[in-house]
Chain A
Amino acid sequence: MTPRRFSAANIVLGAGLAFLYLPLVVVMIYSFNASRLVTVWTGFSAEWYGALLADRQILDAAGNSLMVALFSATLAAILGTAAGYALARFGRFRGRTALTGVIAAPLVLPDVIAGLSLLLLFVAFEQAFTWMPGRGILTIVIAHAGFTMAYVAVIVQARLAGMARDVEEAAADLGAQPFTVFLAITLPMMRPAIAAGWLLAFVLSLDDLVIASFVSGPQSTTLPMVVYSSIRLGVSPKINALATILIVVTLALLTAAAWIGRGAFKQK
């Protein structure tokens, strides 16, 4: 059956996509508005980008956010790969359901719960062992790695589940020891998934407001926290400019990733 071009579903798809992109496009256009009034177009101007780049608070927060995202994504990639590998390759081991549970739960757990519970843990650590006093970058890194590793695990597991075991068995049959099989065969097969998981963890970390608000210290304000307090005060053209930069940077990152990963996809 050939699908009809203008079926009801296709019309909804078109409308849904328009719905998804309309607000983003509007923000990007108005970031170049000369007027201070965010909604009235008075002419093209890049002055808000200049103002943005002069704002030390935003730049510092952006620096913090990038650092947190870099470390937490890397940590999440390591932890998530171990979990995804175990779930995909260890068969029905004892505690498998429990592990699936603690891996899957953070995917849906409301941010406020994750944020508060981790804060209480960090406070208890501080009291009991004087670990991580006052909280800061490290506590955000840990908190972010905790919920983003779930995404890495799911992606890695899905990739491995799609790859037949016999390739690894063939390597063992050809004389490779278990660790060699992992390094020479399994790891390269997982690589696109790990890279995708890392990227997702990076973006999610960069994006998180709620958890970071709970577990950050006074010196470790992240970008979403600054954006949030600025939005609460009212719409600012500077935020339009920042939003545009964030959208463009994300798109550029994803395009680069897709371009690098296209070889990997072809392998299938």
Chain B
Amino acid sequence: MSRPYFTETWRRRMVLALPWLWAALFFLLPLAFVVKISLAEARMSVPPYTDLLARVDGAVVGLNATLANYQLLFSDALYVKAYLSSLKIALVATAFTLLLGYPMAYAIARAPAARRTLLLVLVMLPFWTSFLVRIYAWMGLLRPTGIINTALQTLGLIDEPLAMLNTPGAVYLGIVYAYLPFMVLPLYARLEKLDPALLEAAADLGARPWRAFREVTLPLSLPGVLAGCLLVFIPVTGEFVIPDLLGGPDTLMIGKVLWNEFFSNRDWPMSAAVTVVLLIVLVAPIMLFQALQSRTEIRS
């Protein structure tokens, strides 16, 4: 509709102003502050960083920006290793989540219509219960005196308790567990829309089930695969709670480094620099996710 009502433009502007104002104030502006403070130096004061503007008697006389935080970040092996290790863990965990999530989504999409909603609810339900509680539950299962070890010992399968908690394995397990619903949901949404007649046509044309899956179902579900993987990969790269509670001292993730930098060392400018670099690392996947998001919107 080119110009349905004369006041249309103004009504729209008012509706749009609300989310835009909010996003500018509480999403874009904070990111600008992170960049700003990453260029400052740490200082024992309130707040614990130097002013970016050099002032004499209140008048601005120059800029105090320093790249020292970034120099340290790239010269200290700890940070670089933490970024790389985070990316590796996120990548591997995303692959595992996909491997488990895809068959689940597929099975739900192929279930009788009446049962589909129930199965989907069952997958989503844990997501609605406390994240912390779910990670905590795994701590109870995995610890040396935990249920799994106790059970295995009682059955006589092992003599010594297995070290499961505070290992990389526990971190992967925790991630797959916590992020599984984020993988299943977009996959299901995609698979459910797939017309069953396509598979029937493929079968009719002589394709065996596996081949029909590979050449029809899989290609058509790729946008869902991509959305699911990004929904898992991006937040996991910055994950703090799972490596902190389930990982050991050798599990290096950047979210944990950032947390310690901020809460233990109280070095705000350094944490800001760590955040900026993390954002730069994630900017490509985030933009990919946004592009995917706006494409699906326009299509629907």
Direct chain A–B contact by Cβ atoms under 8 Å: yes
Which residues in A have some Cβ–Cβ distance to B below 8 Å? 1, 3, 7-10, 12-13, 16-17, 19-24, 26-27, 30, 37-40, 78-80, 82-83, 85-88, 90, 92-93, 95-97, 99-113, 116-118, 120-121, 123-124, 127, 142-143, 145-146, 149, 153, 157-158, 161-162, 178, 200, 203, 206-207, 209-210, 213-214, 224, 227-228, 231-232, 235, 239-240, 242-243, 246-247, 250-251, 254
Once A102-B27, A243-B130 are accepted as A-B contacts, the answer to whether A120 and B297 lie under 8 Å apart by CB is no
Contacts of A118 in B (CB 8 A): 26, 30
- B289 CB to nearest chain A CB (Å): 6
Asked if B162 is an interface residue, CB under 8 A from chain A, the answer is: no
Q: Which one, B11, B101, B132, B259, contacts A227 given CB within 8 A?
A: B132
Contact A7 B19 (CB under 8 A): no
| Interface residue ranges of B10-46 to A (CB < 8 Å) | 11-12, 15-16, 18-20, 22-23, 26-31, 33-34, 37
Contacts A90-B16, A93-B12, A117-B33 given; 7 further ones with Cβ under 8 A? Answer: A1-B203, A9-B104, A90-B12, A117-B30, A117-B34, A161-B297, A246-B130
- CA A194 – CA B67 in complex, angstroms? 46
Which residues in B have some Cβ–Cβ distance to A below 8 Å? 5, 7-8, 11-12, 15-16, 18-20, 22-23, 26-31, 33-34, 37, 47, 100-101, 103-104, 106-108, 110-111, 119, 122-123, 125-126, 128-134, 136-141, 143, 145-147, 150, 177, 180, 196, 199-200, 203, 230-231, 234-235, 237-241, 245, 255, 258-259, 262-263, 268, 271-272, 275, 278-279, 282, 285-287, 289-290, 293-294, 297-298, 300
Once A112-B275, A120-B272 are accepted as A-B contacts, the answer to whether A23 and B137 lie under 8 Å apart by CB is yes
Once A96-B294, A178-B11 are accepted as A-B contacts, the answer to whether A250 and B128 lie under 8 Å apart by CB is yes
Q: Which one, A17, A23, A101, A102, contacts B134 given CB within 8 A?
A: A23
Q: Which one, A106, A112, A235, A247, contacts B27 given CB within 8 A?
A: A106
Contact B108 A24 (CB under 8 A): no
A sample of 19 inter-chain contacts (CB < 8 A) reads A9-B103, A16-B180, A19-B180, A20-B123, A26-B140, A27-B137, A30-B140, A92-B298, A93-B16, A100-B293, A102-B19, A102-B20, A112-B255, A116-B272, A120-B30, A120-B272, A178-B11, A207-B132, A224-B132
Once A27-B133, A39-B145 are accepted as A-B contacts, the answer to whether A21 and B12 lie under 8 Å apart by CB is no
In the complex, the chain B residue whose C-beta lies closest to that of A17 is B122
Contacts of B130 in A (CB 8 A): 206-207, 224, 227, 243, 246-247, 250
Shortest beta-carbon contacts, A-B, top 8: A110-B238, A23-B137, A117-B30, A12-B103, A83-B19, A13-B107, A9-B107, A102-B23
Contact B140 A39 (CB under 8 A): yes
- A115 CB to nearest chain B CB (Å): 9
Q: Which one, A79, A113, A254, contacts B275 given CB within 8 A?
A: A113
- A14 CB to nearest chain B CB (Å): 8
Majority-rule SS of B interface residues: helix
Q: Which one, A83, A95, A146, contacts B26 given CB within 8 A?
A: A146
Which residue, of A26, A93, A108, has the highest number of chain B Cβ atoms within 10 A?
A108
Once A10-B107, A24-B126, A149-B22 are accepted as A-B contacts, the answer to whether A243 and B275 lie under 8 Å apart by CB is no
Once A3-B111, A12-B103, A209-B241 are accepted as A-B contacts, the answer to whether A231 and B33 lie under 8 Å apart by CB is no
**Number of A-B pairs, beta carbon distance below 8 Å:** 260
Majority-rule SS of A interface residues: helix
Contacts of B141 in A (CB 8 A): 22-23, 26
In the complex, the chain A residue whose C-beta lies closest to that of B298 is A92
Contact A110 B237 (CB under 8 A): yes
- CA A124 – CA B234 in complex, angstroms? 28
Contact A12 B107 (CB under 8 A): yes
Q: Which one, B11, B47, B147, B263, contacts A26 given CB within 8 A?
A: B147
Contact B122 A100 (CB under 8 A): no
Contact A235 B104 (CB under 8 A): no
- CA A111 – CA B242 in complex, angstroms? 12
Q: Which one, A1, A109, A254, contacts B235 given CB within 8 A?
A: A109
Which residue, of B30, B230, B286, has the highest number of chain A Cβ atoms within 10 A?
B30
In the complex, the chain B residue whose C-beta lies closest to that of A97 is B294
Once A120-B34, A251-B125 are accepted as A-B contacts, the answer to whether A110 and B293 lie under 8 Å apart by CB is no
Once A101-B290, A250-B130 are accepted as A-B contacts, the answer to whether A116 and B12 lie under 8 Å apart by CB is no
Contact A1 B199 (CB under 8 A): yes
